[in-house]
């Protein structure tokens, strides 16, 4: 083995700076390449100018343990096996899977029964979460901001939700993380634990809380948006807006059965797949559904026709995260949303409804995905936001007004 090969091996895996390699050549000589690197410490010159950085130290330890003739394949195989096992262990914590490696989302624990949502209510959300985002949008469109105050949690280092004020670069227009304004807790887990009978399960957002009885009313977004749409009209400043009118209920349900498994949860099925087979199934179902939606939206302003409904809100919160998070982090790579002309315009149409943009905090969304989902992005480096997902681009004309008749234009708060 030549010194060159040996050095190349070090560089390839441990990024040894050129200066270190030069020093090594000087010390070991071209015929003594098996001499362990740590022996260099006997050389005075080495000590004189030594500022060992972490990569050269790692290289030295590797050489001491395995010698310089270790074939790269052994090291790669060892690290890969260790990393795969760790990855699988961590994935099983954040994303339980079925026998094929497909993501199996745990059911929400607190579903809303038919009893009225009474008592002073409080909403807990996190801004990265697409499920919580649905509730923020319906709350805003119905004008429930005063009737249902909100606390905005932030992701903590271990992936759970905590309350802290976060300063950012966004303008005041956009909703930001906050403290717990209802219970003064430090974490969402503490809030869940306050409920009568306690609680030790998953502490998820969104969560609707009753301040009087100190209990969780519901932690399933689809239920919460229905409560906001029709159960709190006496408290809403825009009660006339009905996002689930009786004549469209069947259509809404039909579309929800398509978009929930294939798009809303479909992106998670791609990102959390633990086998190639599970990923292939999820990604094909996702993109064939997006193709179908692209086609449908070529002649329909919203999913159920001329009126915005709850199912549009459910689709929107996934679409708005698509190019900034799912396309990259969850490997939803076949196309960017921007490449879907109708879907992108449809997304801009909804984004431009008064108050909706204020619920979209892109910095928080990107931090929430790239910094929190550690097993998918171990370096926690957050990529730059694509220009096609910036506020200015999303405010460009969408041209979809012509698809609906003016008489049925929904009543949005101006
Ligand atoms: N089916 C639930 C899903 C809620 C959910 O999974 N929320 C995530 C954030 S996107 C969460 O809070 N996860 C924290 C955890 O699992 O501990 C809904 O639609 O409300």
Please give the domain boundaries of the chain with CATH numbers for all domains: 3-70 (no CATH), 121-408 (1.20.1050.10)
Q: Identify whether the C-beta of residue 176 lies closer than 8 Å to the C-beta of residue 168.
A: yes
Task: Pull the structure tokens for residue 334.
Answer: 């076949």
Atom of ligand 1 nearest to the CA of 106: 1
Query: Alpha-carbon distance 315 to 114, whole Å?
Result: 25
Atom of ligand 1 nearest to the CA of 132: 20
Test site for ligand 1: of 205, 222, 311, most ligand atoms within 8 A of the Cβ: 205
Residues designated as active site? 129, 268
Q: Is 108 in the pocket of ligand 1 (CB under 6 A)?
A: yes
pLDDT in tens, 64-121: 776 666 667 777 888 889 988 888 888 888 888 898 999 988 888 888 875 666 789 9
User: Which pTM does this prediction carry?
Assistant: 0.83
3-class DSSP assignment, residue 339: helix
Q: Is the dihedral of CA 297, 302, 305, 311 positive or negative?
A: positive
Q: Is the dihedral of CA 400, 405, 411, 414 positive or negative?
A: positive
Q: Is 205 in the pocket of ligand 1 (CB under 6 A)?
A: yes
The tens place of each residue's pLDDT in the chain, 414 residues long, gives 333 323 222 222 222 233 333 333 333 333 333 322 223 333 334 344 444 566 677 677 777 776 666 667 777 888 889 988 888 888 888 888 898 999 988 888 888 875 666 789 999 999 999 999 999 999 999 999 999 999 999 999 888 999 998 765 555 789 999 999 999 999 999 999 999 889 999 999 999 999 999 999 999 999 999 999 999 999 999 999 999 999 999 999 999 999 999 999 999 999 999 999 999 999 999 999 999 999 999 999 999 999 999 999 999 999 999 999 999 999 999 999 999 999 999 999 999 999 999 999 999 999 999 998 888 998 999 999 999 999 999 999 999 999 987 544 456 644
């Amino acid at each position: 083995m030549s010194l060159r090969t040996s050095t190349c091996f070090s560089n390839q895996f441990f990024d040894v700076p050129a200066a270190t390699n030069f020093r090594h050549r000087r010390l070991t000589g071209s015929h003594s390449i098996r001499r362990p690197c740590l022996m260099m410490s006997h050389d005075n010159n080495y000590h004189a100018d030594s500022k060992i950085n972490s990569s050269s130290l790692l290289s030295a330890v590797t050489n001491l343990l395995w010698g310089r003739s270790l074939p790269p394949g052994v090291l790669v195989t060892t690290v890969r096996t260790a990393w795969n096992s760790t990855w699988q262990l961590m994935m099983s914590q954040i994303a339980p899977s079925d026998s094929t490696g497909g993501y199996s989302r745990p059911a929400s624990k607190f579903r809303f029964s038919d009893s009225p949502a009474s008592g002073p209510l409080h909403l807990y959300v996190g801004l990265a979460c697409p499920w919580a985002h649905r509730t923020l949008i319906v709350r805003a469109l119905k004008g429930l901001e005063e009737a249902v105050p909100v606390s905005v949690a932030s992701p903590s280092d271990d992936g759970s939700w905590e309350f802290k004020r976060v300063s950012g670069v966004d303008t005041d227009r956009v909703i930001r993380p906050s403290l717990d304004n209802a219970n003064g807790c430090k974490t969402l887990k503490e809030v869940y634990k306050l409920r009568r009978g306690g609680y030790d399960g998953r502490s998820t957002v969104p969560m609707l809380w009753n301040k009087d009885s100190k209990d969780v009313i519901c932690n399933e977004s689809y239920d919460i948006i229905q409560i906001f749409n029709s159960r709190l009209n006496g408290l809403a400043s825009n009660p006339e807006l009905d996002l689930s009118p009786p004549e469209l209920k069947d259509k809404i349900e039909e579309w929800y059965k398509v978009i929930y498994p294939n798009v809303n949860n479909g992106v998670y099925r791609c990102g959390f797949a633990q086998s190639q087979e599970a990923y292939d199934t999820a990604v094909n179902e996702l993109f064939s559904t997006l193709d179908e939606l692209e086609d449908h939206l070529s002649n329909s302003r919203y999913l159920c026709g001329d009126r915005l409904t709850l199912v549009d809100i459910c689709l929107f919160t996934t679409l708005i995260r698509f190019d900034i998070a799912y396309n990259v982090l969850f490997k939803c790579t076949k196309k960017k949303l921007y490449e879907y002309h109708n879907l992108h315009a449809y997304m801009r149409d909804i984004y431009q409804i008064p108050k909706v943009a204020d619920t979209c905090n892109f910095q928080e969304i990107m931090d929430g995905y790239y910094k929190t989902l550690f097993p998918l992005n171990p370096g926690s480096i957050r990529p730059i936001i694509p220009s096609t997902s910036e506020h200015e681009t999303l405010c460009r004309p969408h041209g979809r007004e012509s698809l609906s008749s003016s008489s049925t234009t929904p009543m949005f708060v101006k």
